[in-house]
Structure 1
Amino acid sequence: MSWKAYIDSLKAEKGVGEGAIFGSVGGVLSLWASSPGFIPTVEEVTPFTKSENELRSKSVFLAGEKYIMLRYEPEETKNDMVSVQLKKTKKDGDDHAYSASVFKTTKNTLIIARAHKDGTGPDVAAAARKQGLYLDSTGY
């Protein structure tokens, strides 16, 4: 399956409007796929590969938009897998502050899900986690 197909699968989940996948090969993080118009940078997502304290000490941005971190949850079975839930700090023109979630696998693959207008934080967190657990089980 192509990485674009993984984005399409992520967007088919309840509440998800956009997504991106970053991977680490040889310790170098890069963008593997993203939704059109939602393109976080490597610099923006690198803090998600660090510790909770390092992440909390920085402003969090995705695709140029600032978010606040609401929750940092290590996976129960593997502490090096983490789910981070975010909320956009500034409302869009439609008066909506979108939620987002980042799931980090054991290999530092990052799955990013951003809600559509009616999506919720728990929706996007569940979608990113589901895809993250699958990719982790396949070696990513």
Structure 2
Amino acid sequence: MTDALDDGPFFHGTKADLHVGDLLRAGFSSNYRPEIVMNHIYFTAVIDGAGLAAELATGPGAPRVYEVEPTGDFEDDPNVTDKKFPGNPTRSYRSTEPIRVVREVDDWPRLAPEALQAWRDRLAALLHDERAEIIN
């Protein structure tokens, strides 16, 4: 059952080249730590958050943001909800069910190069912190 009380629209940021109707599924490598296979697919109702996720994703390709729709139940993302931010101000969610690509978003807000580098530095520090773990 969906615990999250959000109607969207929802977004997913990645470097993957996707098409309308494609399904994103759990069971693939993390966008940030390719050695980890994810049990969930993550998305947000905040387009800036999806843009940041796209910019920080590893691998080849241009950062892309897609509007997506869940095909099943979803829940608040416990990696940010209550663990880092009380409630769910980031409007971040996850699902074990696929999410469907509705469209590619071309006009998402981009970070200035120095702000993006600060986020990359922060992510690198977190990835090297043995105490930081992804709730998968």
Shorter-chain TM range is under 0.3
Larger relative contact order (C-alpha < 8 A, sep ≥ 6)?
2
| TM-score with structure 1 setting the length | 0.26
Larger Rg: 2
Give the number of the structure whose residues are more often strand, by fraction: 1
Give the number of the structure whose residues are more often helix, by fraction: 1
| TM-score with structure 2 setting the length | 0.26
